[in-house]
Chain A
Amino acid sequence: MRASTILFSLAAKSLLNRRLTAGLTVLSVAVSVALLIGVDRVRTEARTSFTNTISGADLIVGARSGPINLLLYSVFRIGDATNNIGWDSYQEIRERPEVAWTIPISLGDSHRGFRVMGTDDGYFEHYRFARGRALAFADGRLFVNVNDAVLGADVAASLGYAVGEAIIVSHGIGDVSFKDHGELPFKVTGILARTGTPVDRTVHVTLAGIEAIHSGWATTPRARESVVAAHALAEELKPDAITACIVGLQSKLMLFGLQRFVNEYTAEPLMAIVPGVALQQLWELLGAAEAALLVVSILVVAAGLVGMLTTLLTSLSERRREMAVLRSMGAGARLVFGLLLAEAVLLAAVAALLGVVVVHLAMFAARPMVLANFGFYLHAGLPGQFDLIVVAAVTGAASLLAVVPAWRAFRLSLADGLTVRT
């Protein structure tokens, strides 16, 4: 048997013999590694997911607030709008020569915890995500009538809805709302294919539908006619305002021209943002917090490794006899040194690998919760390069730190020689 084989075999058996302390050491290092990888994964996944949520949109227009705020509530359904865009202003923007298409967004209602968004056909035609993918129907068709609704994949899946089902929309965005718009039940006409974006968690209805539940139109005799096409009522149920709109331009060259037009619009305070620029601002804002989190998790890993060092050092005094026995069989003091090093490497490698497994399982488990609360998908993919680097770095750092107990064991075994202390 080769020297390294006997070394690792002895180290492994010795650790198994001390499985309680070794196990706790592994656990503490594993948790710290999981934290480090978790922080990094959530960071990169959040970025990818946010970046993938909107694609092909040139500008987002909303009431004047902050660019990040507008981006978050219009696209990611995070937070609420501070104000609206008047319908007339929206029309004016829409009719500008630079504008190729617009998607109106009207928010403020919910259905059992999922946001309800009023929009029009343009949404299904022009909305793009994940570098240019268009929305597709998994089942059913587009909304046509005032009380038609198109569900995102998660809404349908988690509430168990199928096409043809009736749903009641509530005012406000809480899970439990005190005010239901029960007069006008909506009927599910379509369910969208999964996108991995907040679209999956949105109930889409027509702008007329939103207006209908708010204006009390539902109680009018006209509403009792079972099927009313939304566009037939475009004038009757014309909204006063919308929350925001997404704008596609004829040419990118016109971007700054239209942005200036919107920002200098005098009839009401509006703002136009470039999604990519706003995202960049968001990353800059979060950058410091991310860096702090990363530093903290690296320190936690360091603390875990120091804990391991302590365990190895305290084990030495009770293992001097073992060292003497090994020495008597011709094991050199260098083997004793190697034994301690091998134990540290085994502990750290097992702990780091365990950490990787734990973090990926945890991310898989936390996915629905993260999507519901933070609006992005955690792809519980296979361990990547970063995981490998962390495993290697933790193992490497452990073997460096283990030089301390290994050196001490080396010195002790030289001093003790064959004396079996009792």
Chain B
Amino acid sequence: MATPDTPAIRLADVEFAYAGGARVVEIAELEVAQGERLFVEGPSGSGKSTLLCLVAGILTPTGGTVDVLGESVSALGAAARDRFRAEKIGFVFQMFNLLPYLSLIDNVVLPCHFSRARAALALGNSGSLRDEAVRLLERLGLGANALRGRRVTELSIGQQQRVAVARALIGRPPLVVADEPTSAMDATARLAFVKLLLEECAIAGSTVVFVSHDPSLAASFERSVSMTQINAAPMEGVVANASNISDA
């Protein structure tokens, strides 16, 4: 079990290549402390998304170890990795984070259906999962009743991204991973969004890994690393073949 000293993320000699492809990730060492807010900067094709997939246990490294909160993710089986991800990690994507057929509230509550621990924490905070979702939405400036009745597809991009943050934070996962969450926003909205995200993660006590190709956001974070520096694999000019994962 993780103690406060255990790093939130620890990568050692991690290598990854898609079957039959060249190496796309080669990271000798990367460590993120608990509670730290890390900004990962890098252009397209620098292996950012692959790195996130390795941390989330979607992909397993072809070499080296990935530890998240003291758990060696790279050594777990597929089902255990899915469970681990459900319990420990909240995700915010670039866009289209929400399931179009669920209500605002149901979207926010959804992770609690996959993790008992997060459901329990959310219930500890508010009387019901719904109340906790409403509370989080209010904190993120989406408190208006009128908003909650809308279909998620009718919300603006900025609003959708804030709903995604509420979903990532419900049940206070120890790690929040944001993959280019601001790339569809304009410059002022970006900064405000990053500020809000970091505040809420601080309240939840979550470690933050924020990936973006926009270096101007780095200033809001405690630490910033560049993919081009930590990733020794040759950068791909063109994205890997279509059946594989492409970098955003």
Contact = CB atoms under 8 A, between A and B. Distances in A.
Interface of A: 1, 6, 10, 13-14, 16-18, 321-322, 324-334, 415-422
A417 B245 contact: yes
A261 to B, nearest CB: 78
B49 A418 contact: yes
Nearest to B245: A419
B196 interface: no
A421 B179 CA distance: 13
B52 to A, nearest CB: 7
Given A330-B87, A332-B79, A332-B82, A420 B94 contact: yes
Contact of B243 (A13, A14, A326, A415): A415
B58 A327 contact: yes
Given A14-B101, A327-B58, A330-B87, A418 B113 contact: no
Chain A to chain B: the 10 pairs with minimum beta-carbon distance, closest first: A330-B86, A17-B101, A328-B91, A332-B82, A417-B58, A330-B114, A330-B85, A6-B113, A13-B101, A419-B245
Given A328-B56, A329-B111, A416 B86 contact: no
A22 to B, nearest CB: 11
B100 A418 contact: no
Contact of B99 (A325, A418, A419): A325
Given A13-B101, A322-B99, A416-B245, A328 B110 contact: no
Nearest to A12: B101
A45 B95 CA distance: 59
B235 to A, nearest CB: 18
A344 B113 CA distance: 22
B230 interface: no
Contacts of B179: 418
Interface string B81-108: 0111111010101111111111000100
B115 interface: yes
B56 A418 contact: yes
B244 interface: yes
B58 A329 contact: no
A334 to B, nearest CB: 8
Contact of A330 (B49, B59, B111): B111
A329 B153 CA distance: 20
Contacts of A10: 99, 102
Nearest to A322: B99
B93 A328 contact: yes
A17 B100 contact: yes
Given A328-B85, A418-B52, A418-B179, A1 B113 contact: yes
B58 A331 contact: no
